[in-house]
Structure 1
Amino acid sequence: MKKLILTLSLAFCLQSCSQKPNLSKEEIISEFTKNTPNPSIYNTHPQYRIEQYSSNCRWEIRLNDMPLFLGEMSHTKNGSISNNSFWLNMNILHSGKQIITIRIYPVEGQKTLGEFATFRLIGLDFYPDKTKNKTNYQRLLSWELPDKDVKYLPFLVIKKEFEAVVPYTNVGWEKSKDLTEIKDLDKMVIEKMKDLEEIMKDQNGIGHLNLTKKFLQEKYTCSYSNSKEIEADCNELVSNFNADMKDIEGIEWYPYTNYELVFFGNGRVVSLRRRGKSLNFYGPAYKGKWKDDKSDAEIWLDKFYHIPEGSDELEIIR
């Protein structure tokens, strides 16, 4: 009998020790504040952006093979005019060469780019310099879809490089495991997304903070956040997590069927792509009707997973 009790106790201990306990909101904020470099130690806080304009085409942009825009938004399908600005620091892990990949596709239903496809991209950085009380701007790159020699192409892929100089270092996905050969990876991703789906159903903002700690830690580092900004952001994330659910009726969660594994980060990051009414989803998603006007509603939470060095467990990295 004592042997049985000891065996059960040991099994319970091993199971408990293998599971990471959830931290409280206050503990998470304290952890973020402790691990985020104080921005006052830097003379400059470099910020990198790209400005994009397009019409009569679909497109996607990746920085260091991580998505900035996946080109599946409804307004790009019919080639409507698109004018966007993207913050790049989240995909810049450290100083050095950065690679932007641009993929341009025809309007949906069209086989070639055609003569009216237009695309422009400008890369910028700006340095708020505390010592001189001014901001320095610099154009990093500029590229435009040529008028000639592209109208008969089925798609176009362009790579552009620039040098970034930042005072921080994030690990990101650089040392993560190569996921491309892992058996049953889709089942592993689905399991993680279902865990997140349960948190969404419960509108459990603190649970969401625990699942996204690595992502948020790196966001605060590369955005030069101070302790007050970290606390305010965490409070807002918890308060507003999946807040739209209360305004939607007839909720139906999308099943994990008809999916496709999609790799990013040079094979070290993965997500699951599913098709909705007008968009593709890269995470848990549900549909229903808005209570106020009975129009269609679709809510989703895109997430991207990696396996950190020294681990066998998928976790959210972006």
Structure 2
Amino acid sequence: MNPRLEFYKIKLRARGRDFVTFRDFAVETLGIGKGATDVTVFKKLHQHFIQSLKEDYSKSETLKKRIYIEAKRTINKHYDKRPSLDSGQFTISGVLNGGKFGTDRAVSNNDDEDDSTALGSNKTVASYFFVFIYLPPDHNEGFFIIHSNSKEDNITNVFKYYIENLFKHNPSFHKAKAIEFCPQVFQDEFLKGSTIKRVSFETNVIDNVTSKHGVSSILNEFHIKIEAIPKNKDVSARNIGDVMKVLKDKVFGTSKKTTRLEDFEKKQTTLEGTFGGATKTMNWDISDNDIVPVVYLKDRITKKNPDGTPDFEELKQFCENIFRDEILPEIRPDLNVTKTN
């Protein structure tokens, strides 16, 4: 088990309007009065989030995954940590149950071979996952953090599906859009100790070549890839901007037709560095402004539950701290919140 965090922005979308707020959504779809306070609006949004876990979009037949809150306290070891609200910060945080269904399984007692039970394909095999959600009444963009236990043991995609449908209401509101991103503090942490392994430019668009034998399209059968590999293995990733300034104007082609590397279809750099206590190699599409390194919880959360999941109280405090000190100033500069150094 290698617990990690993923980060997403939530953007509301409505028919015929470029900017709609979570307040607008609550007023138009949840029965809140226009004069309601922000706290009242947010409490209604929290109620909507909890109650909708019983709706069909809390599970995905395509992903074969479901999220919910197990109501039986004898089964749900973290029932007291289920998602609750902080109306001062407009955040919801807590532990959900979730996992895969759709496969016939059997459950067997390791200490008693006669104690076994069939587990039908309609049963969800659930784990515990922590979520942290920001839903500001006065804005059109929210945010969530979700914890995963590993690449396989996660509910990220089904939770993203749930959030997108949570703020859909025909005919006025389209599905919300959940956009993956990584807070600048973690991007900086990764770049600080990373080096550039290579920069590559790729394209498939090549013009036909005219020769004495006529027009040849043989180059169209090739995928063109150009790589720049540092001679010095310790070129800092922080220098990628300067490297790109030099490379982007280089050209590929013939005397009659050239293509700048900047205009190639795919521009990517491979970075290597120590992040979250381990050496990681990641590919970053230079066309994007942000890199999205995986944020592992090793050395960030010191306590663990008996099943190997991170201690959820410590994880909640960690998420609250980075939200208040780092993320909120980044995603809501209009609030004039100052980052904590």
Give the TM-score taking structure 1 as reference length: 0.21
Q: Which has the larger radius of gyration?
A: 2
TM-score (norm 2): 0.20
